[in-house]
Homo-oligomer: A and B are copies of this chain.
Amino acid sequence: MAEASKKRARRSKASSDGRMLGCPSLVWGLVILGSLALNLVTIALLASIYEGNEPSGCRTQSAGLVAEDVREPQSSAKDEEEMVSAREISVSSTSGSRPASKDAVINLDHGDPTMYESFWRRMGRQGDITIAGWQAMSYFSDVTNLCWFLEPDFAHEIRRLHRLVGNAVADECFIIVGTGSTQLFQAALYALSPPDTTEPLNVVSAVPYYSSYPAVTDYLRSGLYRWAGDASTFNGDTYIELVCSPNNPDGSIREAALNSKNGKTIHDLAYYWPQYTPITHAADHDIMLFTVSKSTGHAGTRLGWALVRDKVIAKRMIKFIELNTIGVSKDSQLRAANILKVVSDGYELPICGSEHRLFNYGRKLMSVRWQKLREAVKVSGIFSLPEFQSALCKFTGEKAETYPAFAWLKCEKRGVDDCESFLRNHRILTRSGRHFGMEPKYVRISMLDRDETFDLLIERLSSLH
Contact = CB atoms under 8 A, between A and B. Distances in A.
Nearest to A139: B299
A174 B74 CA distance: 9
Q: By CB atoms of chain B within 10 A, which of A116, A121, A133, A338 has the most? A: A133
Nearest to A145: B72
Interface in A39-61: 39-40, 42-43, 45-47, 49-52, 54-55, 57-61
B132 A183 contact: no
B331 A70 contact: no
A49 to B, nearest CB: 7
A344 to B, nearest CB: 7
Interface string A54-87: 1101111110011100101111000100010011
Given A31-B32, A47-B9, A132 B128 contact: yes
Interface string A127-145: 1111111101111111111
Contacts of A155: 72
Interface in A303-361: 303, 311, 315, 319-320, 322-332, 335, 338-339, 341-342, 344-345, 347-353, 355-356
Given A70-B159, A163-B65, A110 B139 contact: yes
A79 to B, nearest CB: 7
A300 interface: yes
A315 to B, nearest CB: 7
Interface stretch (A217-225, A230-238, A424-432): A217-225
A36 B35 contact: yes
Given A46-B42, A49-B49, A74 B144 contact: yes
A179 interface: yes
A265 interface: no
Q: By CB atoms of chain B within 10 A, which of A301, A349, A356 has the most? A: A349
Interface in A142-180: 142-148, 150, 152, 155-156, 159-160, 163-164, 171, 174-175, 179-180
A117 interface: yes
B65 A350 contact: no
A16 interface: yes
A325 B302 contact: yes
14 contacts: A3-B353, A66-B160, A75-B145, A91-B148, A96-B139, A96-B141, A96-B143, A97-B140, A130-B130, A183-B325, A221-B222, A221-B224, A301-B330, A331-B332
Given A86-B319, A136-B301, 20 more contacts: A4-B351, A19-B32, A42-B42, A45-B46, A46-B46, A57-B351, A62-B164, A62-B344, A66-B156, A66-B171, A72-B147, A73-B311, A75-B146, A117-B137, A127-B134, A139-B300, A300-B327, A302-B326, A302-B330, A329-B331
